[in-house]
Structure 1
Amino acid sequence: MSEQASDPHPTDFGDFEGGFGAIRNRPEDREPSDFPHSHFAAIYETEEERFAATVPFIREGLAAGERCLYVLSDYHEEEVLEILRECGIDVDAALESGAFSFSTVDETYLQNRPFDPDEMISFYRSVVTEANEEYEGLRVIAGTNWIQEVSLETFMEYEGRGNTLFNETDSRALCLYDRDEHSSEVIADVIRTHPHLIYDSTISQNFYYTPANELFETQDHDAEVERMLETLNGRARAESELADHKRFLQELNEITSRPDRSFEEKLHDLLDLGCNWFDLELGALNRVDPNANRLEVEYINGHHDYYQPGADFPLSQTYCIAASDIKQAASVSDPTEEGFDDLAVYQEFGVESYLGTYLPIQGGADRTFAFIAASPREEPFSTEDRTYIELMGQWVKYELERQQYEAELEETIGELRQSNDRLKQFAYAASHDLQEPLRMVSSYLQLLEERYGDDFDENAQQYVDFAIDGADRMREMVDDLLAFSRVEQSEEEFEPVNCETVIEQVTSDLAVQIEESDPEIVVGSLPTVIASLEQLKQLFSNLISNALKYNESETPRIEISAEERPDYWEFVISDNGIGIDPTKTDRIFEVFKRLHHNDDYPGTGIGLSLCQEIVGNHDGDIWVDSEPGEGSTFTFTLPKRRPS
């Protein structure tokens, strides 16, 4: 039988979901138990569907350097050649080189009537061997209208054995089945015996595949065929949608995760991605205020006569009103049908397609993230389209809120810095200005005692002593507070400081206290560091003085050492003093916090706070390890690099 080709347009062929190359496995990659991947059945109802499978199968084979054998069944050779030429395949060159050839059913399947599966498998095995000597493999395209002349059981036995042949060798077969010409029983068995099916412009892996010797019987072949084909198509579409979703997420992640690009650069790439993905012309990020009925274009990724950054429009005259009303993704595919044809965006700007989503921004102006086109859409936007734009919008929303938060945080930090500077200035001024009144109080009390002390009774003398002692302690506190303020506001240049020399100067300054305690002071090898000389002297002086003061041992012992780390020096000052309760070690670094009464251990409670401030000025850390009665070990670090 010969059917005259209907001169289909080349673009009608070769456009189906999936692809032969996507599911190809090389024989050397297969294990014996692998599912066959090289035997296809195309179930078609029209000529266009038939050649939509045939053309790409041949095109891919020739491009891969394989030999293609077309077994004619219901078409003449010239009819097939005409269609292949119209589809852009240089079939004449392939014929001349031998890469493409024709054969007939009588020369292949029915060469020794009746049909014999053993002979056919042997024939194809020899053809594969011959093709492999010169080509990368073999592809067979065969019509099947002739199988009505043989028993179905015999032919399906051949198809099952063909799976093994095509799976184990560099060969593939595409069997063409006209659904209108074959019974439902035949089509059902075709579905069962082929690892891959092509139907309704969709290629899919066939989970109904069953080896020929396990074929089951069924009563309602028509219903089963419909169910099988629809299930396969549904699964193939689901797999295609899942693959699209993964690809979209991958592209989205590639754009948003690049640390070397700014927000504006990423946003531009994101708008380009949306235009390509949704097949729209322009993407934009807009500031919107629904209460004021206002939309301002903030960013765009292309040129438009009306939409430009800074352009201001009534929100209600743009398609963004649709997303604004529902506070989520919205689309417009047909403005007239959907009731948007009275808007200026349609009447004046000529925009006919829109996909956008609403972005409520915490602490800032709300936005819409949208895409538009002047051309109408043939199909409405899908649920997946709205999901994709919401995913992109979530990233934009996060970035805008992060920028808003960082700006607010920076402003708060600036205000705190100003407030802290004012407090420092106040503390310095207050402590400085308090010195003179305190000197006057102390001086007049001493003068009062010198001139009239002989006339004081016991109570009067005690009162004067209390006043003098209080004034002296207040002066010490003011002096320490002034020293603390000087360290806080210090802009002193750091320089190389020899720590061993600093220890010598400090022990000399503390000579009286050292003489009273008669301690054993062990000093290890100490480095030269980049630091403030005066601050370092104050640091060591406070720590050594405390080690002497809070010590009741017969022979106080102080050990001073330093250990080099990769990026810093670690100094350790340990003693055998009274120790500190571990639950209270954090308190000792707070200003004016003391663990002992002044009658037991005099002091102002600023010394260790000053130590912490000095170490902090040098970008270091300080801490203490101690137990009551077991002494204390103070550790602090100083970076090797110049402090920032």
Structure 2
Amino acid sequence: MATSDPPIGRLRSRIRQQEVVAKLGQQALESADLGQLLDDAVSAVIETLEADRGHVLEYRPEADVVAFRNGSNWSAGAGGSVISLENAGESTRTVIRTREPTSGTNLEAAPIPDDRSTGTKSDDLGATSEIVAPIGSADDIWGVLGVYTDDSREFTDHDVSFVASVADVIDGAIENYRTRRNGKAERSAGRMRPETDLETTVDRITDAVFGLDDDWRVTYVNERAQRLFDIDAATLVGTSFWEAFPSITGTEFDREFRHAVDRQEPTAFEAYFEPHSTWLEVRAYPSESGLSVYVRDVTERKRVEAELRENNHTLARLYAITADPELRFDEKVDELLDLGRERLGLEIGFVADIDREGNRFEIVHSKGPDERLRPGSVTPLSDTYCRRTIESDELLVLTDGPVADEIDDHAYETWDFDSYVGGQIRVDGDLFGTLCFADENPSERSFTPAERSFVELSTQWLSYELERQRRQRKLERVTAYTDAILDAVDDIFYVVDAEGTFRRWNETMEDVTGYAGAEIESMSPADFFAGDDRKRIGDAIAEVFETGQAHVEADVRTRDGDTIPYEFAASLLEDPSGTPVLAGIGRDITERRRQQRRLEELISDLESSNERLEQFAYAASHDLQEPLRMVASYLTLVERRYADELDDDAEEFIAYAVDGATRMQQMIDGLLAYSRVDTQGTPLRTVDLECVLDDVREDLQVHIEETDAEVDVGPLPAVYGDPGQLRQLFQNLLDNALTYAGTDAPRISVSAENEGDEWRIAVRDRGIGIDPAESERIFQVFDRLHSIDEYDGTGIGLALCQRIIERHDGEIDVESAPGEGSTFTVTLPAPPTTNTDIATARTTDASDPSNE
């Protein structure tokens, strides 16, 4: 039994152990079958301590060996085997050498004989914890009783005492067996054995022995009998037994002796011998010549048995008090104090709350006639016996007034307690107070170990119960705090068990639904929903208990029949007992749904507006291009037809007009391309960027050659995109790099870097660079950093690039500084790698208006 068991668990264990000892003791008295007793004793110890195996080993000192006599859960060949003491295991050697019981934990393997020789071979026991106790007295050890566990176990002192008590019972049974065997030998020898041999034999017997002839005269008395009855053999032998012991006439001794002689049958009994105030165990063996009587003083055993019965009764009452669910804590303490007063024979019992630092001693519970010790009375701690009690982990025990240095003279003069038993009460390791029993009169005897154990158990139970109450109060404070928080939130909070019963909820749930707490207690979650929502809620609850969490939206039906849209999120937790429960939050989404409907309306309006704007842009660009082409054509025609008539100014004006019309047409084309990025693109698919860059370089070949540019394209990946738009994207970026190269020949590089499910493509040049403050402006439509005289262009190229990247869910940015070149970086999605990714990409692309 582990030492960490709560007090009630230890109480049950001790009661059980004492019952086993009492039962085995009774069997030892009534049965002559020693082998059966040994088997029963080993089995009882194993069962009571929940051990794995046990045995009885007989020690044979003449050969310095141990023999396996009885055991449980050993190999078939173990019975009767013999092994030298040297190889019998450290614990067995220690017990035989010291005559004291021992226990151990995390042992090395203990050996056990496996043959019937006196060799040294042994099996590996494999035990990790054990108790081994001696069988026999300090002067005459018979053997050992051992019990073992396969798992690591920390046995208590009470466990060791229990095994030692069983070993004592076995020792008594062995003595009885020897006595009976000697009695049978005596009867079989009869009168043929010489008197001197008989006297020699009986003198060797440890029991008191005397013989009577057929006239009831004493024929012999051994030394043990002379000491027991305080008589001299010389004066006793030859006298009438009834004259020597007149007080037994008419007693059980008289009846049993005469019965044995009359029927010529042995008898055994126990009786109280009044002249010496002792209990005697008597065995009488009749013969034709008289009666042989063997007597053993069992007063101590009777005292122990009586103490054991009383202790069992006390422990049973203690258990009944502490385990009674109908009693309040104060009532339990009062009954415990009454029980302690009765058990210890002391008038007063009390529990005190102690403040060591404040020198304060306050009575919190008391029983008895002393008016000074009423609950609420306060005394300086220094004036009490408890000042000494709290200085030691052991009980403070007085039976006949305090001895030197035990109790201060002032405290003794104040209280005048000559009998006192007190122990500490600790709560979570800190001193709380004391449990004490006292009396002004000296005790007639010393307090027994069982009585001391009762006080120790009582202090342990009080400590355990006060710790439990402290934890309960803390839990109640935490619960109240948590409830206050949950009641303060606007969301619904609830806890539901696997049977669909509400275990907890906040006030918001009552306020929202209109149901009172008593009504909710009898309802299930489904009662708050109707139609398809009820099924969705049931499915969500099942999902939580299967997967651990779930989300669902449903309309809550109130007591008045109204419905409120709610979003519920729930997770699986464990309550303090370890039972799985569902804990969830419900949030009113009325406003969110209203905003969602408004957003959907706005999106619909925006889509309609965009569609109309696109139609307008297309129509406008188409209608504007025709007049521009006509203006440019007729101006060119005028220039050719009237070339001889036009002066230089007229030709210059015509050239400006044609150039303006051409640039206007380019701007309209750019604007049209910009407006069609989302509507005229092709479905996204896997695109090899190296192929795209090859096409771009081919398109820009003339420009590259004219500028003597060097374009270095590194290894490029496949991405997921619109091949046409990606070609437009990189053509614009490379064309800008060529255009804004400055006075030196352009040097351009294109590289790629993977970042998980996307690629970063960088286009670097060594051109004129861009002021960082203008890095956002360059992506605006028709917004140019340079005049048309400096650099040609429409001002829409980078805006178109940004629009293309946005369609691909990517980003475009620039790092640059004047005179140091620019690096444009775009992010593009990597191709889908799974069927799910492909399906998702196709779904996203299918929803794109550009695919219609």
TM-score under structure 2 length normalisation: 0.38
Structure having greater relative contact order (Cα 8 Å, sep ≥ 6)? 1
Q: Rg larger in 1 or in 2?
A: 2
TM-score under structure 1 length normalisation: 0.49
Which of the pair is proportionally richer in strand? 2
